[in-house]
Amino acid sequence: MAVTTQRAHTKEELDTRKRSSASHRFEKALQRKIVGQREAVHALVELHQVFCAGLCSPGRPVGNLLFLGPTGSGKTRIVEAAAEILFGDSRAIIKVDCAEFQHSHEIAKIVGSPPGYLGHRETHPLITQEELAKSHRESLKLSFLLFDEIEKASDSLWQLLLGMLDKATLTLGDNRRVDLSQTVIFLTSNLGGGEISELMQGGMGFVQPKDKPAAALDQKVERTAVEAARRKFSPEFMNRLDNVVVFHPLKREELDEILDMELAQVQKRILDSTAAAFLFQATGEAREFLLEEGTDPRYGARHLKRAIERHVVSPFAKLLATGQVRSGDVLVIDRCPGENRLTFYKENERCSYSTHMIFAAPIANPLSNANLQVA
Ligand SMILES: Nc1ncnc2c1ncn2[C@@H]1O[C@H](COP(=O)(O)OP(=O)(O)O)[C@@H](O)[C@H]1O
Ligand SMILES: [Mg+2]
């Protein structure tokens, strides 16, 4: 006698858009450090979720990601920011600057020389299992390997790279094998960057052309970058990538936001330092000056940090060293009219502050008082 069981067919729809709280926290933290570049943030968050669920393809790297787009748009920064969040240190990445390995013999710096070769004992390979394991945490056994500016890689570096992307292993000079199956391989390239800045208002920068809707322009930027990559890189290479993400040129309001973040970092450095904890504010004019000095269509935000060091941090150091600024002071930074520098004023009213107070936001013209000499 056949027994038939009848199951009640109740369907429960599952929500695949819902993410774990760890993944959600990672996304929020990344968005606090990276301005714009939503596709790139999304790609990293998805990868993190797949890794945490243990569903990565076996025998392959956790992910092979190619980042394209103009210089100074955040390609390297996003990898550092993710390392900061996940491993607690932005330097917990093995970084290979492909421009430094243009000659085939320099590959020894990456894999070490075979035994018996001159200098075998002195050359420490850059990529080893121990180096990769340095970023591992109890809760997250993951590593980042970054190949920056791959369009500059030599043929022998390409061969090495193709093997890593495909098999997730690297054989060192002394035949030891490095397992890359717990590693994300990031590749960055500025290919197509020149053409992209030409697309943006005839090469004149960050402002969006008025006659083109934003979405159409974004698509064009993406197509330009991907076509440039397809022209330069072999299909063999492109086929081994899990994801190609195009970074967009930074818009004016995004640069403003990055300036805020960088100034807030300076404020944090001051409050953490033992010299003197003071607060500062920058006027709109001063911020305008720093953006002019530190950003441009060809280099994105690449020189912003340097401009801040030169025009803000270095004068601060002089003011501290000469005793013109003390703990508890409030400084206002303004643009010096007609000159290529900033001026610094001291608000006469001293303030008490908490270390949470970040004061680097723009303000209206300073009402204040003591003009400080930094020259
Ligand atoms: N989208 C961004 N969000 C936050 N900071 C950025 C962004 N893009 C550029 N920067 C700033 O500019 C600097 C240079 O960016 P980087 O990532 O090195 O450029 P590239 O795209 O050439 O790799 C970074 O260190 C960071 O200070
Ligand atoms: Mg870079």
Distance (Å) from CA 117 to ligand 1 centroid: 40
Same domain, 162 and 288: no
* The domain boundary residue, chosen from 230, 249, 268: 249
Same domain, 210 and 263: no
Dist. CA 176–CA 173, nearest whole Å: 7
Query: What tens-digit pLDDT sequence spans the chain (375 residues)?
Result: 556 666 668 899 999 888 889 999 999 999 999 999 999 999 999 999 999 999 999 999 999 999 999 999 999 999 999 999 999 999 999 999 999 987 777 888 888 877 766 665 666 899 999 999 999 999 899 999 999 999 998 888 999 999 999 999 999 988 999 999 999 999 999 988 878 877 776 544 455 555 556 777 888 889 999 999 999 999 999 999 999 999 998 988 999 999 999 999 999 999 998 778 899 999 999 999 999 999 987 788 999 999 999 999 999 999 999 999 988 899 999 998 888 899 999 886 544 443 334 445 444 444 445 566 665
DSSP 137-162: BTTB--EEEEEE-GGG--HHHHHHHH
Same domain, 52 and 176: yes
- pLDDT the model gives residue 367: 41
Same domain, 81 and 209: yes
CATH code for position 286: 1.10.8.60
Dist. CA 156–CA 164, nearest whole Å: 13
Residue 11 placed within a domain: no
Same domain, 270 and 340: yes
Distance (Å) from CA 304 to ligand 1 centroid: 9
What is the atom index within ligand 1 of the atom nearest the CA of 262? 27
Query: Measured in whole angstroms, how far is the alpha carbon of residue 51 from the centre of its chain?
Result: 21
Same domain, 104 and 169: yes
Distance (Å) from CA 255 to ligand 1 centroid: 10
Query: Measured in whole angstroms, how far is the alpha carbon of residue 59 from the centre of its chain?
Result: 27
- pLDDT the model gives residue 358: 43
Does 294 contact ligand 1 (Cβ within 6 A)? no
- pLDDT the model gives residue 353: 41
Domain that holds residue 76: 21-249
Distance (Å) from CA 54 to ligand 1 centroid: 31
Contact 30, 85 (CB under 8 A): yes
* Structural domain total, the chain: 2
CATH code for position 50: 3.40.50.300
- pLDDT the model gives residue 300: 86
* The domain boundary residue, chosen from 204, 219, 249: 249
Question: Which residue's CA lies nearest to atom 11 of ligand 1?
Answer: 301
Same domain, 286 and 202: no
Same domain, 98 and 178: yes
Residue 10 placed within a domain: no
* The domain boundary residue, chosen from 231, 249, 267: 249
Distance (Å) from CA 189 to ligand 2 centroid: 8
Tally of helices (H runs) and strands (E runs) in the chain: 13, 12
Same domain, 195 and 82: yes
Contact 286, 335 (CB under 8 A): yes
What is the atom index within ligand 1 of the atom nearest the CA of 37? 1
Does 76 contact ligand 1 (Cβ within 6 A)? yes
What global pTM score does this model have? Answer: 0.86
- pLDDT the model gives residue 177: 95
Ligand nearest to the CA of 300: 1
